[in-house]
Structure 1
């Protein structure tokens, strides 16, 4: 009789332990799923699908006096940028937008785990000594995700189509607008003189092609 009571007590204790074990197993499985999803997301965000290489062209020296100096503002420049990008991206499956506010802002969507993610990347623009424009990444907004600017810039560079005169440098968190490599249809060059977005003051100069300057 005593032996039967001990067996019954042991069975009861084992049954009491089972729910605890089930909860432990469920927790471990859930934790594994979460860790797996995070690892997969990090892999997708950091993997290099292809190496994008741009042939860096030498700086085109624009000497002499400009044929025309233009004072503009953000509203006018945004209209010009929007017009150019609409035409440039008309055959593209994905679109991005670039506009000037108190900072320069690049925005668009890319997919992570099949879900569209909207990004807002803010830059501070600087005019270089050779009349090009450097955009220095200042801050990033990607919904509730906390991603490094460097990795997002790599994803943007791979996901979207940019003109050849736009050079990304994710390691330095910069984008160089190579105006010395951009020509209008009539051959005129553009050189940036001043960009002050806070005071809404933008100045550029137009130069004749080099072979016409001689």
Structure 2
């Protein structure tokens, strides 16, 4: 009787688990794509830095007290921003509801990504209006508010008297830099979006010289 030694038995080769390999490849692609997309969104690009004008101490006499509501102000905002939006490559909309909301989009690899940025408005002592960013809705992307505001600052065409501070997450509406052709100027007095009360004063300049 012949005894077969273990060393004479050829080792059994395991077949590769193709399903496992495929799953690992898919996971790797998804992770790589996610990291790439996030890096593109958060990518810092240089943009022109505008000098911030000093606050203008305006002297004048209030001649008209304006009391309005969100519907009327939204119509005014939409009308005023029409020319700026036409010059911008990206579409956006600013509306007043229970909060101030900026709805817009940016393109990532040619694909439009929608976002909703919500603000609380505050009337400053000088009659300007500050919008403080409170929350952001941008699908499943975990992008910080400050990064989206940087993107808005460098990508959107906005009036010169609107200043964005991405670090502080604020937008300042510089009414002290907004003046009508006849010299009249506006100061905000009260903004209560929940109760739908918006008040401002129209001032006649102290000097009529231009």
TM score, norm. by length of structure 1? 0.87
2:157 alignment partner in structure 1: 161
Cα distance, 1:45–1:164 mapped onto 2, change above 3 Å: same
- What's the offset of the Cα at 1:210? 4.9
- Say yes or no: does 1:189 pair with 2:180: no
Return the alpha-carbon distance in structure 1 between the equivalents of residues 178 and 53 of structure 2. 11
Q: Quick check: 1:123–1:139 contact (8 Å CA) kept in 2?
A: yes
1:43, 1:211 → 2: CA distance? Answer: 53
Structure 2 runs not aligned, ≥5 long: none
Q: Which residue of 1 aligns with 2:14?
A: 15
2:9 equivalent to 1:6 = yes
Quick one: which of 97, 100, 103 aligns to 2:96?
100
Q: Is residue 135–residue 174 contact of structure 1 (8 Å, CA) maintained in 2?
A: yes
Give the aligned length. Answer: 206
User: Which residue of the other structure, out of 120, 138, 161, is the alignment partner of 1:124?
Assistant: 120
Aligned-residue RMSD, C-alpha: 2.1
Match for residue 140 of structure 1?
136
Superposed counterparts of 1:27-42, under 5 Å: 27-42=23-38
CA contact (8 A) 1:54 1:164 kept: no
8 A Cα contact 2:191 2:197, kept in partner: yes
CA contact (8 A) 1:62 1:207 kept: no
CA distance in 1, matches of 2:8, 2:181: 98
For 2:114 and 2:106, how far apart are their aligned partners in 1? Answer: 7
Aligned equivalent of 1:56, options 52, 57, 60: 52
**Counterpart-to-counterpart distance in 1, 2:173 and 2:145:** 19
Which secondary structure does the structure 2 equivalent of 1:111 belong to?
Answer: strand
Distance 1:92 1:151, change over 3 A: closer
Q: Structure 2-normalised TM-score?
A: 0.89
Write 1 or 2 for the structure with the bigger share of helix: 1
